[in-house]
């Protein structure tokens, strides 16, 4: 254990090197409470580096408050920090920002030639569905023969807004133009990766593409949904505090709004699965503390921060946890690692010093 509490435990569980037959993914969602981007060393202590092929980082209230982000939307500092953290072995596929909601994806450079149809898009679900204080941002791409979709969301707050949260997420799924109106990455320009105007490590050239909107659930083989989804634990503060003291997480989860919604037939969330929750509620904490909200509002500790995925025989959830030692904001980050059948994806690099049959993978050799 280091100064960040349980961080080492998370990293120790994820030190397995990427394999030749499975594609490994790391996802993290983090509400940063409008605080500035943390320093590189701090980020390195959170994210287990160099042992996954794909990293997707979703944040809410990143760098600035929601109000300030309406005017100044840029997440340039955060993106620069992440690029420096991941280094030259990883390529920034794309990023997308909607006010204070941000998503960014990095992949091992060996995968670059196999990426195509890379698009970003967003939908606002705030005031009259026009303001982006709430909503979703997405990045989608094709890797090998399959389509991948990653969505980061910040849904309506407050205990009584379950219906609004459900409707917002359904709107995000149905109204984002996942492959059409926004931007596609021209990954053939990867040689220019280190010449970006906003970041010395460039990420290619963007161009516009026309395309029809797909039926999301059907058309994407792999869908990952994350964010501050804002679903709460039903109950009162005194009872929840007592349950936490007794470490009866099953009682909390039986009263968790998202768990309840996912069990309802025809609910939009019924299309997605979630790993077993064995960690404590991730919201709301006092500053630099393990103590839950002590303000007059006495907010009920809740699992607001979640990661879900479209079920498939080809995907395995390997790890799902909060990073409880990160006390940077009033939320705890939540991470998930997945492995996916890599059939049709070339994870190895051919060794030109040997014959055409011999190969060696720098992905598999990462230390």
According to the model, what pLDDT value does residue 14 have?
43
According to the model, what pLDDT value does residue 170 have?
93
Nearest to 55 by CA among 18, 7, 13: 18
Residue 201 backbone dihedrals phi, psi, to 5 degrees: -110, 95
According to the model, what pLDDT value does residue 190 have?
43
Residue 268 backbone dihedrals phi, psi, to 5 degrees: -55, -30
The C-alpha atoms of residue 322 and residue 204 are separated, in whole angstroms, by 33
Q: Is the pTM of this model over 0.85?
A: no
According to the model, what pLDDT value does residue 19 have?
53
Residue whose pair of structure tokens reads 């037959």 in the numeric block = 21
- And the tokens for 258? 């998202």
Nearest to 306 by CA among 254, 257, 247, 264: 257
Could you give the 3-state DSSP secondary structure of residue 209? Answer: coil
The C-alpha atoms of residue 215 and residue 359 are separated, in whole angstroms, by 38
According to the model, what pLDDT value does residue 92 have?
98
The C-alpha atoms of residue 282 and residue 183 are separated, in whole angstroms, by 34
According to the model, what pLDDT value does residue 266 have?
86
According to the model, what pLDDT value does residue 29 have?
98
In the chain (367 residues long), the average pLDDT of successive 10-residue segments reads 41 48 96 96 96 97 92 94 97 97 97 95 86 93 95 97 96 79 45 38 37 68 98 97 97 98 94 97 96 97 98 97 97 98 80 34 28
According to the model, what pLDDT value does residue 155 have?
98
The C-alpha atoms of residue 180 and residue 183 are separated, in whole angstroms, by 8
The C-alpha atoms of residue 187 and residue 185 are separated, in whole angstroms, by 6
According to the model, what pLDDT value does residue 132 have?
86
Q: Are 223 and 229 in contact (CB under 8 A)?
A: no
């Amino acid at each position: 254990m280091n100064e960040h509490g349980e961080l080492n435990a998370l990293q120790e569980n994820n030190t397995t090197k990427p394999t030749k037959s499975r594609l490994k993914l790391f996802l993290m969602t983090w509400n940063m409470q409008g605080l500035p981007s943390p320093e590189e060393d701090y980020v390195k202590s959170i994210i287990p580096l160099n042992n996954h092929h794909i990293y997707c980082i979703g944040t809410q209230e990143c760098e600035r408050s929601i109000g300030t982000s309406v005017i100044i939307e840029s997440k340039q500092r955060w993106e620069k920090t992440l690029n420096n953290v991941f280094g030259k072995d990883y390529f920034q596929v794309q990023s997308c920002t909607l006010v204070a909601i941000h998503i960014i994806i990095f992949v091992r450079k060996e995968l670059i030639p196999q990426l195509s149809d890379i698009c970003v898009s967003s939908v606002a679900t705030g005031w009259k569905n026009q303001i982006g204080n709430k909503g979703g941002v997405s990045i989608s791409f094709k890797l090998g023969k399959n389509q991948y979709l990653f969505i980061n969301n910040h849904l309506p707050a407050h205990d009584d807004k379950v219906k609004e949260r459900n409707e917002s997420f359904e709107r995000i799924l149905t109204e984002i133009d996942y492959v059409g109106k926004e931007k596609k990455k021209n990954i053939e320009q990867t040689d220019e990766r280190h010449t970006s105007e906003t970041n010395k490590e460039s990420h290619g050239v963007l161009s516009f593409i026309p395309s029809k909107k797909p039926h999301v659930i059907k058309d994407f083989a792999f869908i990952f949904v994350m964010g501050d989804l804002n679903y709460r634990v039903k109950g009162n503060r005194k009872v929840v505090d007592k349950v936490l003291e007794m470490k009866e997480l099953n009682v909390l989860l039986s009263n968790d709004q998202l768990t309840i919604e996912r069990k309802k037939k025809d609910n939009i969330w019924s299309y997605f699965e979630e790993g077993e929750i064995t960690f404590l509620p991730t919201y709301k904490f006092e500053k630099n503390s393990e103590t839950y909200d002590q303000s007059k509002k006495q907010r009920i500790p809740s699992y607001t921060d979640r990661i879900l995925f479209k079920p498939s025989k080809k995907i395995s959830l390997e790890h799902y946890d909060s990073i409880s030692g990160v006390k940077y904001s009033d939320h705890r980050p939540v991470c998930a690692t997945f492995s996916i059948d890599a059939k049709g994806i070339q994870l190895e690099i051919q060794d030109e010093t040997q014959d055409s049959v011999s190969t060696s993978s720098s992905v598999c050799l990462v230390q």
